[in-house]
Structure 1
């Protein structure tokens, strides 16, 4: 049994399977057409480093793909209720290019594997497009895995 949910797993409804697909087909790889169809024009992202608009989030995904070779965005668990989906998400790859979207500026690659575990809550509009997302993850732990010495300069 895989640790990740398949987009073909019929234990999940179509909206949940679409969430799995968008991670694999338009976040892990560049497909702005699919992203544009999935995200609402008024989408807002709420994360540890503040809010982002959809264009800002799309740029963040591009920065992740550029920095992390073999970048993946997979779902481990999904729970849905009404217009909401909760998910455990795993992003991973090998840190081979500069990461220009970190909260502390550009980070030089260290060649090491990267794995970022997130807890997401998604809200959808009645038309099915993604309207809002809240994300929590360990930003300090993420920076440490990228090789950042957070005690430097003290």
Structure 2
């Protein structure tokens, strides 16, 4: 049994299958035309490091593709209801080039495989375009996979009582 959902799996509605396709065909590989058609102009991404606009998220995808050889964006679980989709997404690849979009600055490659597991909630406009996304993932675990030594974090200022 394949661990990822196929875009042809008819157990899922068309909106869910389109989400699978966009991950494979326009996030994992560069296809700005497909992305532009999928995302609403007023799209907002809400993630662990703050909010992003669609152009900012598209730049993040570019940075992922550049840093991770064989980059993939696959869906594992999808629950679709009305204008919302809940999803478990897996992003993966081998870390072979500098990653410029980390929350701590550019990270040099370590040549190791990376797998980032995300929990997403997507909201769509009535016209079918993606309007909003909320994402949670283990940012510290992701940085560890990239070879970041988290014991070297800068000291936090003390708070006096």
TM-score (norm 2): 0.95
Distance 2:123 2:47 in 1: 14
Report what 1:120 is aligned to: 120
Distance 1:64 1:97 in 2: 10
Q: Equivalent residue of 1:151, what SS?
A: helix
Report what 1:47 is aligned to: 47
Distance 1:9 1:82 in 2: 19
Report what 1:135 is aligned to: 135
Report what 2:158 is aligned to: none
Q: Which has the larger radius of gyration?
A: 2
Report what 2:86 is aligned to: 86
Name the Cα RMSD after superposition.
Answer: 0.6
Query: Does structure 1 residue 6 correspond to structure 2 residue 6?
Result: yes
Q: Which segments of 5 or more consecutive residues in structure 1 lack a partner in the other structure?
A: none
Report what 1:68 is aligned to: 68
- Between the two proteins, the alignment pairs up a number of residues equal to 154
Q: Which segments of 5 or more consecutive residues in structure 2 lack a partner in the other structure?
A: 156-161
